Homo-oligomer: A and B are copies of this chain.
Amino acid sequence: MSDEAKPLRTFKLTVAYNGSRYSGWQWQPGETLSVQRQIETAIHQIIGEEVRVAGSGRTDAGVHAFGQVASFSTNRWNAPADRWVRAFNCFLPKDIVVRRAEEAALRFHAIRDSVGKLYRYTIRNSRVVDPHLAHLQWCVHRTLDVEAMRAAAQRLVGTHDFASLQGQGSPRYNTVRTIHTLEIQATDVWEGRVIEINVCANGFLYNMVRNIVGTLVEVGHGKHPPEWIDELLAKRDRSSAGQTAPAAGLCLMEVLY
């Protein structure tokens, strides 16, 4: 039986990675290390075929994932879908893990079919860095007013034009998005607190989560009151908002379909 005669199948992968070493999810000419490329290389090692993998979205250099979703199709796999997990984890480097592999509808596509995403941003609010978790956190030394940050966050929930929070580099014509939830949790840890900011939206503009976090931190430092958010959104001007928070604190937690 020739390869062509076997049925084409589409697989959906759930992937976790430590983005520290990578130039991001997407492979781009001239970039040395991308997560996408590592996965494509592993597929080539497993089934001997050059396959293009689609991710649910790019993550930038240094950004992590717990539940990135990727899809690809091949007619060279006869085993149950779950067997991909062990095969991938034999060939992938330790900082990329395939958590789940499922059979998907033939036309499933990780980008097109996504209806939303959940990101988590982690701040360590302490006078000292946590040396064991420095690659996963933004360490903010001055004490943050979490209640003020929560009040500001509530003003971002809903459908808004987020042009003021869109990073440069990949502009969208339509900058309206809907934030379903934006929750902030603070937990005491040694020498300070860990503040987790969870954002769920139907889509995100370039650097939007990191710009939201930088903006909330300005409110947390008392530089602006929570009501400033309304003003900011109305301006549609990136230079009015806070700084872009560092990549290390960001993690793509889940993609919704």
Contacts and interface: CB of A to CB of B under 8 A. Distances in A.
How many copies are assembled? 2
Interface residues of A, number: 26
A136 interface: yes
A135 B130 CA distance: 14
Interface stretch (A90-98, A142-150, A168-176, A220-228): A90-98
A95 B139 CA distance: 13
A16 B130 CA distance: 8
Most B C-beta atoms less than 10 A away, residue of A64, A191, A251: A191
B64 A97 contact: no
Interface in A233-257: 251
A106 to B, nearest CB: 27
Given A99-B191, A190-B99, A191-B99, A131 B17 contact: yes
Instruction: Give the interface SS of chain A, mostly helix, strand, loop or mixed.
Output: mixed
B99 A18 contact: no
A252 to B, nearest CB: 12
Contacts of A190: 66, 99
A104 interface: no
A134 interface: yes
A129 B94 contact: yes
Interface in A114-138: 127-132, 134-136
